[in-house]
Structure 1
Amino acid sequence: MQALAQRARIARGESGESRWEVATRPPAPRLRPYIRDYSGYTEETPGPLRRVEFPMPQIVVIIELGPPVRVFDAGSDRRHSLYPGGFVAGIDDTFTVTEHDGFQRGLQVNLTPIGARLFFGVPMAELTGRVLSARDLLPRKYARLAERLEELPTWDERFDLIERALGERVDEARHELGVVPWALRRIEELGGAVDMRALARELGYSQKHVIGLFRENVGVPPKLLARLVRFDRLIKHLKAGASGTWAELAQRFGYYDQAHLARDVKQFTGTTPTKARATLIDLAGMSP
């Protein structure tokens, strides 16, 4: 039992009056096609804290174990929504702004598109570009998931419950995914550097049919997903503190040129590559 208690990796830190804790653990091997990663977190700051969340090729599930954070409407710094118990954010092509009043605590589960399709049982197009209440979207059996997680004393026990819930839904799911899982793996393997006509030929379908399959089971067309996969690789590289000029990074991650990279970064982050990099350096300080 002692070994189980140590499975989660927990990092703690503080800066001035701010304190944080982040717990992480790799998903069980059989669930890795469905969960990209998950983490538990607690953060205390001396006052309100606002963050810009960049889009990624994943569906984000936030289970709130503390006061709900504010999620701002796209393009607004005033209009926002609260989601007691948590929320689900579908794949998007732009950034999201969130804010808390000085304390937040919860779990973040980043699902693959296939994982979200099987877990929620709805077409992924219904989530695209939207933030929805987790209580409204979770299967009825897990309507009290936030309360059940809050009652558990350790992060490991919470992660175990998340894995049981997802595993049960995957086992029960009867959705026909067809060629989509293979196509997703192909896009990931190539880092987003995929010719869409060639991908359609490999799949044996027209581009129109492939786009329809992706909207149903992923939420966005394959071309946008490929852009997000490429952007995700770039962001992880920068967050790790890696160096390189923007021209070098553009070549490394499959952009046509530096201007192409800058356009994608501007769309996905709302700012310049240099400012986005500074934001990632700050966030990296909270990574275990």
Structure 2
Amino acid sequence: MLEPHMISLQPFWEGGVKNIGLLTDADAKIVAHSMHLVAKSSLQKCVPGTGMVGIAFSCDPNLPGSYCYGVLEGRGTTDYNGILDCFLVRFLPGEFSRLFGVSSLLPSQKGVPLKELFSVGTLEEEMAAAKSDEERQRLVERLIRSASSSVSFRKPREQEKQIAANAVRTILEHHGDIRMKELSQETLYSARYLQTLIQEHVGLPPKQLCSQIRFQNILRLLQNTHEPSLTLLAQQAGFYDQSHFTRVFKEYTGMCPSAFLQSRP
């Protein structure tokens, strides 16, 4: 089961957002989740996530297309390239690279047409013509399972991709509050080796990834707490102190935690 802390939150997205469900590979392993976003503008204000590569499919039968978006390294605006009715698939850190044999460093944060990364056949047209989100979900799962079934033939890099994906899941389970020495001890691989693999297959260095995951954990705690103590939340999320937490939070959102709390609906 996919735990909530593995999914990036985007509190500033504007438009209707509907969570669709989880996506699995050929071994029934959860590798991604999907949502349907209908917006007035294809420009969406974003904050750093948990290292997820995303694919946006157009649901407009008159404008089929798809774009792949790389891992966010900081706050900014994502341009969905004119797609207003969007079926969005976000892959757990490291899974996009493992499944499709494409480095997570390759797709930019501005987006790149999916067909420039690998062959998609008629998938874009099928997604745009689909009558329901359930049908779109089946189409994407078909793509994922087809890629997954051939992963074992991509040697010798497959083992490295799996090590990277497993290491990131360990980081997620610790909510980003883990040092490289501890990660090395848990995975039984050297810190230098893990750093190289995570950078290549996730798109972020481990230290940056941990910082963003801690930030995402704070967002989730703020979202689910009625009257939060910022000092206590900072401690729970693994920040050195409240000033460190406030500095990182403002860097990633553009506002201090107290102002963010006041902006909550």
Shorter chain as denominator, the TM-score bin is 0.7 to 0.9
Q: Secondary structure at the match of 1:229?
A: helix
Distance apart, 1:170 and its partner CA: 1.2
Letter in 1 for 2:30: P
User: Which structure has greater strand proportion?
Assistant: 1
Letter in 2 for 1:104: L
Q: What is residue 54 of structure 1 aligned with on the other side?
A: 47
Q: Secondary structure at the match of 2:45?
A: strand
Q: Secondary structure at the match of 1:125?
A: coil
Relative to structure 1, the CA distance from residue 90 to residue 20 in structure 2 (aligned partners, 3 Å threshold; closer, same or farther) is closer
Distance apart, 1:86 and its partner CA: 3.2
Q: What is residue 93 of structure 1 aligned with on the other side?
A: 73
Q: Is the 8 A contact 1:118 1:169 kept in 2?
A: no
Q: Give unpaired runs (5+ residues) of structure 2.
A: 1-13
Query: What do you get for the CA RMSD once the two structures are aligned?
Result: 3.2
Relative to structure 1, the CA distance from residue 19 to residue 272 in structure 2 (aligned partners, 3 Å threshold; closer, same or farther) is closer
Letter in 2 for 1:55: P
Distance apart, 1:272 and its partner CA: 2.4
Q: What is residue 144 of structure 2 aligned with on the other side?
A: 166
Residue in structure 2 matching 1:239, options 223, 231, 240: 223
Q: Is the 8 A contact 1:233 1:253 kept in 2?
A: yes
User: How many corresponding residue pairs?
Assistant: 244
Relative to structure 1, the CA distance from residue 95 to residue 84 in structure 2 (aligned partners, 3 Å threshold; closer, same or farther) is farther
Distance apart, 1:128 and its partner CA: 6.3
Q: What is residue 59 of structure 2 aligned with on the other side?
A: 65
Distance apart, 1:50 and its partner CA: 5.2
Matched, 1:258 2:252: no
CA offsets 1:127-149 (integer angstroms, 9 cap, x no match): 36553222322x21x14422211
Distance apart, 1:23 and its partner CA: 5.0
Q: Secondary structure at the match of 2:84?
A: strand
Relative to structure 1, the CA distance from residue 101 to residue 182 in structure 2 (aligned partners, 3 Å threshold; closer, same or farther) is closer
Letter in 1 for 2:72: D
Distance apart, 1:162 and its partner CA: 0.8
Q: Secondary structure at the match of 2:178?
A: coil
Matched, 1:34 2:31: yes
Q: Secondary structure at the match of 2:23?
A: coil
Matched, 1:155 2:133: yes
CA offsets 1:76-123 (integer angstroms, 9 cap, x no match): xxxxxxx97232222222023146899820111110123211333112
Q: Is the 8 A contact 2:57 2:86 kept in 1?
A: yes
Q: Percent identity?
A: 23
Supply the distance in 1 between the matched residues of 2:166 and 2:252 (Cα, whole angstroms).
Answer: 26
Q: What is residue 269 of structure 1 aligned with on the other side?
A: 253
Supply the distance in 1 between the matched residues of 2:47 and 2:240 (Cα, whole angstroms).
Answer: 22
Residue in structure 2 matching 1:124, options 104, 129, 151: 104
Letter in 2 for 1:33: I
Relative to structure 1, the CA distance from residue 172 to residue 101 in structure 2 (aligned partners, 3 Å threshold; closer, same or farther) is closer
Q: Under a length normalisation based on structure 2, what TM-score does the superposition of the two structures give?
A: 0.78
Relative to structure 1, the CA distance from residue 182 to residue 51 in structure 2 (aligned partners, 3 Å threshold; closer, same or farther) is closer
